[in-house]
């Protein structure tokens, strides 16, 4: 029995050795020469080129282009290669895949709803998504005072990060507000009467010498024409005089 088991073991060992020898011969004669003799290519530099140009260049030297990922990067235009693997100058086998990372441009975000918010709340809401507060237009309306009731872009509009959104802020109803007319060119007495009729008051009167206009002619005002002010506000006036001895 022992001799039979030993004989069986020797036979199996012999078969295993022969099989390994055959595999080594095949690798040495067929697979290894094929691998060693496969054409090689130098990976070109593709960073800064469009994906289409990179694909064409790789195709021309029998390499495969594969988009690995899209990365938001405002320094590169959308569709531009910003990174590659393998790196430029590396020697690879024919048919090797080259992984490209392509720019998605500047990241976009959706405009949030700003209506019904105060300026402070709106600024915080915009900054939280990467946007900035743009121009603030103060206009009279029936909406509560100091509340945003209109915005430049509707909610959900895609914008690039860092863009600005202008808003319209309510300064309350016109019943307690006055839109200033143009006082320039009118006489001081006339303007004083207009201000009284509009429930406004004369503020600081500054005299300036002028030889081309009649004395007591309005040449400037503050706030300016078109400004919306509260009832009872003071309006500063700049008035002409003939010489430094006149006026205050």
What is the pLDDT tens value at each position of the chain, 248 positions in all?
555 566 666 676 767 777 776 767 666 665 555 455 568 899 999 999 999 999 999 999 999 999 999 998 888 999 999 999 999 999 999 999 999 999 998 889 999 999 999 999 999 999 999 999 999 998 888 788 899 999 999 999 999 999 999 999 998 777 778 889 999 999 999 999 999 988 899 999 999 999 899 999 999 999 999 998 888 899 999 999 987 665 55
Q: Which residues contact 50 (CB under 8 A, 6 or more apart)?
A: 79, 80, 81
Same domain assignment for residues 164 and 181: no
Answer whether residue 167 is part of any domain: yes
- Same structural domain for residues 162 and 143? yes
Residue 3 lies in a domain: no
Is 76 in the same domain as 96? yes
* 99 and 112 in a common domain: no
12 is a domain residue: no
What is the distance between the alpha carbons of residues 77 and 53, in angstroms, rounded to a whole number?
A: 14
Residues 55 and 78 in one domain: yes
As a whole number of angstroms, the distance between CA 27 and CA 177 comes to 94
Condensed to tens digits (0 to 9), the pLDDT of residues 113-127 reads: 999 999 999 999 999
Q: What is the pLDDT of residue 137?
A: 93
Given this model, what pLDDT does residue 246 score?
Answer: 56
Which residue, 87, 103, 119, sits at the end of a domain? 103
Look at residue 189 and tell me if it is in a domain: yes
- Does the residue 153 lie in any domain? yes
CA distances from 92 to 38, 174, 204 (A): 10, 76, 83
Domain boundary (78, 103, 128) is at: 103
181/164 same-domain check: no
Looking at the structure, tell me whether residues 47 and 97 fall in a common domain. yes
Please say which residue of 172, 189, 221 terminates a domain: 172
pLDDT of residue 10: 64
**202 shares a domain with 157:** no
Whether residue 2 lies inside any domain: the answer is no
Is 51 within a domain? Answer: yes
CATH number where 159 lies: 3.30.10.20
- CB neighbours of 233 closer than 8 A, spacing ≥ 6? 178, 200, 201
- The reply to whether 138 falls in a domain is yes
Q: Looking at the structure, do residues 72 and 87 belong to the same domain, yes or no?
A: yes
Tally the domains of the chain.
Answer: 3
**Residues 160 and 216 placed together within one structural domain of the fold:** no
Q: Which two tokens stand for residue 221?
A: 């005002």
Secondary structure of the chain in HEC code, one letter for each residue: CHHHHHHHHHHHHHHHHHHHHHHHHHHHHHHHHHHHHCCEEECCCCCCCEHHHHHHHHHHCCCEEEEEEEECCCCCCCCEEEEEECCCCCEEECCCEEEEEEECCCCEEECCCCCCCCHHHHHHHHHHCCCEEEEEEEECCCCCCCCEEEECCCCCCEEECCCEEEEEEECCCHHHEEECCCCCCCEHHHHHHHHHHCCCEEEEEEEEECCCCCCCEEEEEECCCCCEEECCCEEEEEEEECCCCCCC
The per-residue pLDDT for range 82-118, each reduced to its tens digit, is 999 999 999 999 999 999 999 998 889 999 999 999 9
Residue 112 is part of which domain span?
108-172
């Amino acid at each position: 029995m022992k001799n039979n088991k030993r004989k069986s073991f020797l036979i199996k060992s012999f078969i295993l050795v022969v099989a390994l020898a055959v595999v080594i011969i095949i690798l040495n004669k067929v697979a290894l020469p094929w691998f060693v003799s496969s054409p090689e290519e130098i990976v070109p530099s593709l960073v800064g080129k469009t994906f289409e140009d990179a694909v064409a260049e790789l195709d021309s030297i029998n390499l495969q282009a594969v988009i690995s990922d899209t990365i938001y990067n405002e320094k590169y235009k959308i569709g531009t290669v910003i990174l590659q693997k393998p790196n430029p100058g590396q020697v690879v086998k024919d048919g090797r895949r080259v992984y490209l990372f392509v720019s998605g441009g500047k990241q976009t975000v959706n405009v949030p709803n700003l209506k019904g918010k105060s300026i402070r709340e709106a600024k915080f809401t915009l900054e939280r998504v990467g946007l900035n507060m743009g121009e603030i237009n103060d206009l009279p309306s029936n909406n509560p005072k100091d509340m945003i009731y209109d915005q430049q872009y509707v909610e959900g509009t895609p914008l690039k990060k860092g863009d600005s959104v202008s808003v319209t802020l309510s300064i309350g109803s016109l019943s307690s507000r006055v839109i200033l007319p143009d006082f320039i060119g009118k006489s001081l007495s006339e303007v004083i009467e207009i201000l009284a009729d509009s429930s406004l008051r004369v503020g600081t009167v500054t005299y300036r010498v002028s030889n081309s206009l009649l004395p007591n002619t309005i040449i400037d005002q503050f706030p300016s024409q078109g400004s919306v002010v509260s009832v009872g506000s003071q309006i500063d006036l700049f008035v002409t005089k003939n010489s430094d001895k006149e006026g205050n």
